[in-house]
Amino acid sequence: MTAFLFADQNVMAPNLTAIAEDFGFTPEERDRKLGGDVAMVFFLVGAPVSVLIGYMTDKVQRNSLFCAVVFLGEAPCLATLLVTKYWHLVFLRALTGIAIGGAMPLIFSMLGDIFGIDRRAMISSILSTSMGLGISFGQFVSGMAALTTAGGCPSFLLPEPARGCTEEALRSKFEDPTTNFRYKERINWHKSLTVWHVRTNLLVFAQGAIGCLPWGMIFTFLNDFLSQEIRLSVQDSTAILTALNIGGSFGAFCGGFLGQYLFNKRPFLMTTMMGTSTILGIAPLLFLVNLPSPPSPLPPFGTLLFVAALTGFVGNFTGPNIRAILLNCNTPETRGTTFALYNLCDDLGKGFGPAIIAAMIVTQGRVAAFNTAVVVGWIGCGCAVLCIGFTMEADAAKVQEKVSLAAKGSGSGAQELELEGGPITGSPALDRNGHELQAICPA
């Protein structure tokens, strides 16, 4: 389901020049309008929707909300078949961004309540792999068959997990057969602001925004660059990008399992692996960006496929582990909002990244602009990830302390319990008769 959802994200990339010719665009207009503007609106429309849906995720039934988000986002994707003018394409691609932007907070909010801290990175890696395979499949079909859309929708819904049931501090309460414990904390305006007080969150948001510069170049421009400047066929260029995406899928899968293994030994080792792999991913990507132009001979095609797969493999170690870190460092009732803000920063990078690169192309040319984006983006991202190693253990411990206090019904200012009469902060929750309310609810 997730794979088909993400198949829509990159279907235009193999055919940028063909689409530009249909609209009568010059090469400069191709990069600016199709590579920059369309990519920007795709992610920037999804970004504010992601924040709204992330907040709703922490308040309402999540599986029904997910179904509605996917339907509202995928219907415009199907309507791309009817495009006849440029503004039609911009409008419909913007609406399609709703599905990508709105689904992420919902998916990971539910995963956090299904899997505990000792398995979240592994599960995140499986989900990241499905996302990468979906993107790869959509781009492959687009390049080979000249399609401009792909889509999918959820075929079934699983029962929604109970919030907080995987938290170590609450596990004994959920497992007690004599009680019917429920974690009743929900998001409110005050709690949504506390997301910005978590140091790990700020570092995650920063690495996501700057790290998207190289990915924006890869997904938006690299396919067209290989076919136009390096003079590969569209099919060969698409095959190289497909190899990169497949390598990325395996990288996300292996990175998540390796990250979970290192985390279970010592959390700091996980972030060291993540930051190092991000910086090492610069080398193979620069190899592809600086391939010689005709008439100079190219390396064997098999070598290009290997380097592309290596780029994706090494560059995708971080993704699943970053999402697991966010789950560990935020309380169950704030995870939807946190992932929405993460998506916002990520989408700002994906949206503004291609636009920034398109502006750089005008003054520097494609090769110089791509080199700058790769080096600046992944060095900055890698350094931010390394810094997370110094903050995440303390932030994760605070989460367990907060949920434990919430379960006891007293928070010393760290929580709010919502009653009929309004929120009461910093004191035990009392009913109308003055008795203290307990978190254990009768069946």
How confident is the model over 273-299, as pLDDT tens digits? 999 999 999 999 999 999 998 888 899
The 3-class SS string of 332-361 reads: HHHHHHHHHHHHHHHHHHHHHHHHHHHHHH
How confident is the model over 406-429, as pLDDT tens digits? 777 633 333 333 323 334 333 344
Question: What are the start-end ranges of the H helices in 25-61?
Answer: 27-29, 38-57
Task: Select from 312, 271, 264 the least CA-distant residue to 288.
Answer: 312
- pTM more than 0.85: no
Query: What distance lies between CA 161 and its chain's CA centroid?
Result: 21
Which pairing describes strands 416-419 and 422-425: parallel, antiparallel, or unpaired? Answer: antiparallel
Q: What is the pLDDT of residue 305?
A: 95
Q: What is the pLDDT of residue 439?
A: 38
Interval 248-267 mean pLDDT: 91
Q: Which amino acid is at 62?
A: R
State how far the Cα of 318 lies from the Cα of 304, in Å rounded to an integer. Answer: 23
Q: What is the pLDDT of residue 8?
A: 61
How confident is the model over 376-407, as pLDDT tens digits? 999 999 999 999 999 999 999 999 888 888 77
Give the Å distances, CA to CA, from 225 to 153, 219, 318, 375.
32, 11, 26, 18
Q: Give the H or E element holding residue 311.
A: helix 301-315
Most confident of 7-16, 51-60, 310-319: 310-319
Query: What distance lies between CA 68 and its chain's CA centroid?
Result: 19
Q: Which amino acid is at 179?
A: T
Sign of CA dihedral 21, 84, 223, 342: positive
Q: What is the pLDDT of residue 15?
A: 67
Task: Select from 427, 404, 236 the least CA-distant residue to 331.
Answer: 404
Would you say residue 430 has pLDDT above 50?
A: no
How confident is the model over 126-159, as pLDDT tens digits? 777 777 666 666 666 665 644 333 333 333 334 6
Do residues 343 and 47 make contact, with C-beta atoms less than 8 angstroms apart?
A: yes
Reduced to 3 states (helix: H, G, I; strand: E, B; else coil), residue 423 is: strand
How confident is the model over 14-28, as pLDDT tens digits? 667 777 877 788 877
Would you say residue 200 has pLDDT above 90?
A: yes
State how far the Cα of 314 lies from the Cα of 128, in Å rounded to an integer. Answer: 14
What DSSP line would sit under 144-155, residue for residue? Answer: HH---------S
Interval 172-180 mean pLDDT: 74
Beta-carbon contacts of 36 under 8 Å, excluding residues fewer than 6 positions away, are 220, 354, 355, 357, 358, 359
Would you say residue 208 has pLDDT above 60?
A: yes
Q: How many other C-beta atoms can be found within 10 angstroms of the C-beta atom of residue 387?
A: 18
> Dihedral, CA atoms, 428, 434, 438, 440, nearest 10 degrees?
-160
Structure tokens at 254: 């292996």
Q: What is the pLDDT of residue 146?
A: 45
- Lowest mean pLDDT across 28-32, 104-108, 424-428: 424-428
Beta-carbon contacts of 390 under 8 Å, excluding residues fewer than 6 positions away, are 268
Specify the length of the chain in residues. 443
Task: Select from 309, 178, 167 the least CA-distant residue to 246.
Answer: 309
Most confident of 24-28, 323-327, 341-345: 323-327
Question: What are the start-end ranges of the H helices in 218-297?
Answer: 223-228, 234-265, 267-280, 282-289
State how far the Cα of 411 lies from the Cα of 23, in Å rounded to an integer. Answer: 60
Would you say residue 344 has pLDDT above 70?
A: yes
Which pairing describes strands 440-441 and 180-181: parallel, antiparallel, or unpaired? Answer: antiparallel
Q: What is the pLDDT of residue 18?
A: 76
128 against 121, higher pLDDT: 121
307 against 10, higher pLDDT: 307
Task: Select from 5, 28, 23, 18 the least CA-distant residue to 77.
Answer: 5
- How many helices (H) and strands (E) are present in the chain, helices listed first? 19, 4
Q: What is the pLDDT of residue 204?
A: 94
Structure tokens at 251: 């990288």
Q: What is the pLDDT of residue 157?
A: 39
- Lowest mean pLDDT across 142-156, 250-264, 347-361: 142-156
Q: What is the pLDDT of residue 252?
A: 87
Task: Kindly indicate the confidence band of residue 308, based on its pLDDT and cuts at 50, 70 and 90.
Answer: very high
Structure tokens at 422: 């309004």
